[in-house]
Amino acid sequence: MQFSDLALSRRLERAEGHACAQFADTRRRLFPDSSSEWMQFSGAYAVFDGIGSPVTQTFGLGIFEELSGASLDVIERFFLDRGAQVDHEVSPYAGVAALSLLCSRRYQPIEISNVMYRPIEKPADDDHPNVRVHVVGPDEAQLWTDTSAKGWTHEHPELLGFFLQTTAISAAREQSPCFLAEFDGQPGAAGSLCIHKGVALFAGAASVPEMRRRGLQGALLRERMRYAFDHGCDLAMMVAAAGSDSQRNAERRGFRIAYTRIKWRLTSNDR
User: What are the DSSP calls for 144-157, one per residue?
Assistant: HHHHHHHHHSTT-G
Is residue 254 assigned to a domain? no
Q: How far apart are the first and last CA of the chain?
A: 45
Q: What is the pLDDT of residue 208?
A: 86
Same structural domain, 108 and 125: no
> Is 199 or 126 the better-scoring residue by pLDDT?
199
- Report the distance separating Cα 253 and Cα 243, nearest Å: 16
Q: What is the pLDDT of residue 155?
A: 66
Give the domain range for residue 94.
6-114+259-266
| Domain count of the fold of the chain | 2
Helices (H), the chain: 6-30, 69-80, 96-104, 141-152, 160-172, 216-230, 245-252
Q: Please, which pLDDT band fits residue 192 given cuts at 50, 70 and 90? A: very high
Same structural domain, 145 and 211: yes
Same structural domain, 161 and 92: no
- Report the distance separating Cα 134 and Cα 62, nearest Å: 39
Q: What is the pLDDT of residue 218?
A: 87
Distance between alpha carbon 98 and the CA centroid of its chain, in Å?
A: 23
CB 27 within 8 A of CB 162: no
- Report the distance separating Cα 133 and Cα 64, nearest Å: 38
pLDDT digits (tens, 9 = 90+) for 36-92: 999 999 999 999 999 989 999 999 999 999 999 999 999 999 999 999 999 999 999
Instruction: Name the amino acid, one letter, at 172.
Output: A
> Is 126 or 142 the better-scoring residue by pLDDT?
142
| H or E segment and range at residue 178 | strand 178-183
Is residue 241 assigned to a domain? no
Is residue 138 assigned to a domain? yes
Q: Please, which pLDDT band fits residue 125 given cuts at 50, 70 and 90? A: confident
- Report the distance separating Cα 57 and Cα 38, nearest Å: 10
Is residue 1 assigned to a domain? no
Same structural domain, 228 and 127: yes
User: What average pLDDT is seen over the chain?
Assistant: 91
Distance between alpha carbon 88 and the CA centroid of its chain, in Å?
A: 14
Q: What is the pLDDT of residue 240?
A: 92
Report long-range pairs for 266-269 (Cβ below 8 Å, ≥24 apart). 266/76, 266/85, 266/86, 266/87, 266/105, 266/106, 266/107, 267/106, 267/107, 267/108, 268/106, 269/80, 269/86
- Residue 123 is given by DSSP the state P
Q: What is the pLDDT of residue 160?
A: 75
Q: pTM for the complete prediction?
A: 0.91
Is residue 243 assigned to a domain? no
**Mean pLDDT in residue range 100-126:** 93
> Is 210 or 113 the better-scoring residue by pLDDT?
113
Same structural domain, 135 and 226: yes
Same structural domain, 22 and 105: yes
pLDDT digits (tens, 9 = 90+) for 27-40: 999 999 999 999 99
Same structural domain, 96 and 126: no
Share of the chain above pLDDT 70, in %: 97
